[in-house]
Structure 1
Amino acid sequence: TKDEVASRPGRDVINVTPSGASIYLIITATDPNNTGNYIRNIRVVQAKYEDTYESELFNPEFINKIKKFKAIRFMDWMETNHSKQREWANRPKVDDASYAYGKGVPVEIMVKLANRIGADPWFNMPHQATDEYITNFAQIVKDTLDPNLKVYVELSNEVWNWQFQQANYALAQGQARWGKDKGDAYMQWYGMRTAQMSDIWKNVFGSDSNQVVSVMATHTVWLGLENAVLDCPLWVAEGNAPCYQHSIDAFAIAGYFNGSLNAEENESTIESWLNEPDGGVSKAFKQIKSGGLLPTEEDYESLSDIDKIFKYHQQVAAKRKLQLVAYEGGQHLVKSDNQKLTEFFIELNRHPKMYKIYTELLNEWKNQNGGLFMHFSDIGKPSKWGSWGALEHVYQKSSPKYDAL
């Protein structure tokens, strides 16, 4: 509701009752006489930040929560999945009406956040981005990023994931270039375009090219698929060096676990655990840690054998003298079509035992000489689509996952 007494022209004071909903702002009329003097430059800020919001771009509570991290991956901020970005002229701009709806956050803002907290930024170039787009993006980063920071750069996100438009685009591009009979053309095209992207970034940074960490990723549990990306024989046949030799610095995988709790075949068993005195918590964490309690179990989904997948990919990276990094990782408990299990999975994410599980995961990663490990994600409200956030909201002081990280 509007506080009529405290409000004045150009400054409305709104009393908001905290809830899970957003503030919905509707403009019903503006500039009825078409004079050009329409309503503009609307800012909605908490009263306590009224005097500082123009100089402090980011919510201080947000800064306080993320400042301990050494790197930030901007995949979601850049609207990477299904991105329509192609030409530099249509990039997100600082004066866009909103960064939340549309093209994503401008590079200038992301660099400011990285500089603000002293964290290495990780950018995901749109899969359709032209060479001009990539060059200009890299130039802004070179000109404005703290030179003491590294910059990680990756082409798109999970280009092998058929949920995302970028996988279909890569397949179409690869098969158009090398033939429709080439089943792995999407991965070879991704490897080729990553190599080209890396060459552009390194060239822009010139004598400071070591500041750039070029990343090439693969599907973690599809062993062998990485060869198409790293070695890209179809592109090599055109007279090029293998993709990984184009100044690629890091080989990226995901570091997720779920203990096979997500499998549909295991639903009835897990639901039976809910009748245990502790609501199934002990069995769930035992399954996550060691496996052996469910009728259907996939490889590498419990902590007891995740070291095998880490070791495999570390050997792949070492063979090519690349650093192994994790582009995403953490728990991966999701059951969108079962309310009981959704609530159970949220409970597991909040449980103190998750701290130990995360600690064991990160220690195993370290034992396998893994480099940077990016958790997905920083802050997010749990739902049937997953409990991805280390914190559930920006005002939450701690959580088992956040504390472990």
Structure 2
Amino acid sequence: MKGAWWVAVVVLGAAWAGDAIAQPTPHAKQVGVELDGLGDGGRARPFVDLAKTLRGWMKAQGEGDAPVDAKGWPTTDARTVLFDVRPAFAWAPPIDDPDAYQPDWGGSYPFTLQGRAEVAIAEGPGCRVEGVRYDAKTNATTGRIVVPKACGILVVSFTKTRRDPKASEGSGISGLRIIRPGYPADTKQVFTNEFLNSLRPFAALRYMDWLDTNHNPGFYGDTGHHALEWADRRPADYATQSGTPQGKYGVAWEYVAALANETGKDLWINVPVAATDGYVRELARFLKAELKPGLKLYIEHSNEVWNFGFPQYIYNKLAAIDEAKRGGSPLNADGSKDEEIWTHRRHAKRLVEIGKTFREVFGQDQADRIRPIYASWAISAEPHFADVLAWVKATYGEPRDHFFGLADASYYNVAKAAKDATPEQLVAAMRANSDENLANREKIRKIADRYRLQHCQYEIGPDVGGGDPTNVANRIRANRLPAMEPLLLHDAVDNWFDRGGGLYMYFAHISTASRYGCWGLSEDVDQLDTPKWRAIYKLTGTSKPAK
């Protein structure tokens, strides 16, 4: 390995504090991470209040979705999944993970809710509800849920509910708070200490999964449903911040801003494909008002708009066809008849428009904080990058006046490994694929250099996913090998930074291991000493945080 990362990694003692680092690494400001999506199965434990990631409400016996009010609280007796951190597929064996790893979420969870209810465990081996009492003066029910170490799922029911003393039985509840073990029942703290500690090595956080970008509502052409207005966003006081059957997608922007402010990390945000111009302007105004000065905004138009498997590709293509055929559009002003070319161009056009709006709102004196990123397909440099950038220049002027950088996602995968490859052979296959990616990376790098733009990775990391259960045990074991540390460093240092690469957004922070991938640096927020994490510490010149 030729990278000089180790020269800069000099730490004193085991403390986390910045003064433990004698010399900053050259890559400390260039490594970011994708936050794993929010939900009852998330392993990152971001919120102190467990209820912020509860699953959409079901009827009390689990026989379908429960009706909810405007803030997402049930208006009838109901149940919900508070967490399910079992290994996939414990609910329908066999389990993918040969070690059947499950994090320990045991402890005492104090809860409070507005209204009166009988609270019971609907599912949760060994769990129990204790100390339940109702205070008529405050119309609040309190108690605690005790969860044993071995429990991986917690489903709780709320029956004989009365929202207020005058309401009829079965009228539901509101204001549920369930505080994680180790925090005071009346705490106002939003994010857990362990979650915040795990983010310290990174310069930027990407919120694509937090914002549920790949599932944002809206199908172009469906009148009344294909435009996402600012008023449609999820509010911070909504019952849950995870996806719901009632159609709320993505975390509230208030929590995005709060996390950025608390950590001091730059933001990489994904503007929903269905967002209207009004939504974009209000989002810019909100972030200008809420974010601490100096935090930078890397702005992407949706996510992987080039990807035929995502609804945003279809949305963007239908919107491009509609615009071009209505006439007067720059998408086909040169006489182009190719709908795919219009589609590529609209993706860039929308980013130009979004970036312009943000710069107008933030003002010229803060324009350097706004960093639009044109992201597209790693293996298609000419049609998805070169041709589009040439069109941008002809239509809007120099791309550098509109974009900060270009980005692709050159995952290193195991596609060429044998179906029965050993964990060691799978790691070797990923290393070989990282080297093979250099050809496509170089093509995009040259385009970026031509237009004086940064070249970034919007997502990057080892890829053993795909959904096929074939050899899944070895695919998971490969990601736990010590050899993953030098593999990550080889891709990041030898094949990226040493060749002039810019921001490197690792995918992903914390997630479970299954046939669908082993994306996380670890499988639980308490696991911060895995081979992958050790690579991040060396790459960024940091050390494992103290608990």
Tell me which interval the TM-score lies in, with the shorter structure as reference length.
0.7 to 0.9
Q: Deviations over 1:28-70 (max 9, x none)?
A: 342285379953211111232125631x101111111112211
- Larger relative CO (CA 8 A, sep 6+): 1 or 2? 2
Tell me which residue corresponds to 1:298: none
Tell me which residue corresponds to 1:135: 281
Q: Residue 324 of structure 2 is aligned with which of 160, 169, 178? A: 178
1:230–1:243: structure 2 CA closer, same or farther, 3 Å change rule? farther
**Local SS of the residue matching 2:154:** coil
Q: What does 1:4-403 correspond to in 2, within 5 Å?
A: 4=130, 6-9=131-134, 10-18=141-149, 21-31=152-162, 34=167, 39-51=173-185, 53-54=187-188, 56-84=189-217, 86-101=228-243, 102-179=248-325, 181-206=338-363, 207-224=365-382, 225-232=384-391, 240-241=395-396, 244-261=399-416, 269-271=418-420, 273=421, 280-290=422-432, 302-339=433-470, 341-363=471-493, 364-403=495-534
Whether the 8 Å CA contact 1:259–1:289 is kept in 2: the answer is: no
Q: Say if 2:128 is the partner of 1:2.
A: yes
Query: AA paired with 2:376?
Result: T
Whether the 8 Å CA contact 2:412–2:431 is kept in 1: the answer is: no
Query: AA paired with 1:355?
Result: E
Dislocated runs of 4+, deviation >4 Å: 35-38
1:243 and 1:383 map into 2 onto residues whose CA distance is 44
Q: Deviations over 1:174-198 (max 9, x none)?
A: 1222257422222111111111111
1:369–1:191: structure 2 CA closer, same or farther, 3 Å change rule? same
1:319–1:52: structure 2 CA closer, same or farther, 3 Å change rule? farther
2:277 and 2:478 map into 1 onto residues whose CA distance is 45
1:115 deviates by 1.1
**Local SS of the residue matching 1:174:** helix
1:242 deviates by 5.0
1:376 and 1:19 map into 2 onto residues whose CA distance is 29
**Local SS of the residue matching 2:506:** coil
Q: Percent identity?
A: 27
Whether the 8 Å CA contact 2:385–2:444 is kept in 1: the answer is: no
Report the TM-score when normalising by structure 2.
0.65
Report the TM-score when normalising by structure 1.
0.86
Q: In terms of mean alpha carbon deviation, does 181-190 or 216-225 score higher?
A: 181-190
1:19 deviates by 5.1
CA RMSD between the two structures: 2.3
1:245 deviates by 4.9
Tell me which residue corresponds to 2:98: none
1:163 deviates by 1.2
1:69 and 1:20 map into 2 onto residues whose CA distance is 32
Q: Deviations over 1:112-132 (max 9, x none)?
A: 101111110111000010111
1:188 and 1:270 map into 2 onto residues whose CA distance is 39
1:388 and 1:220 map into 2 onto residues whose CA distance is 19
Query: AA paired with 2:369?
Result: Q
Query: AA paired with 1:251?
Result: L
Whether the 8 Å CA contact 2:375–2:406 is kept in 1: the answer is: yes
1:230 deviates by 2.5
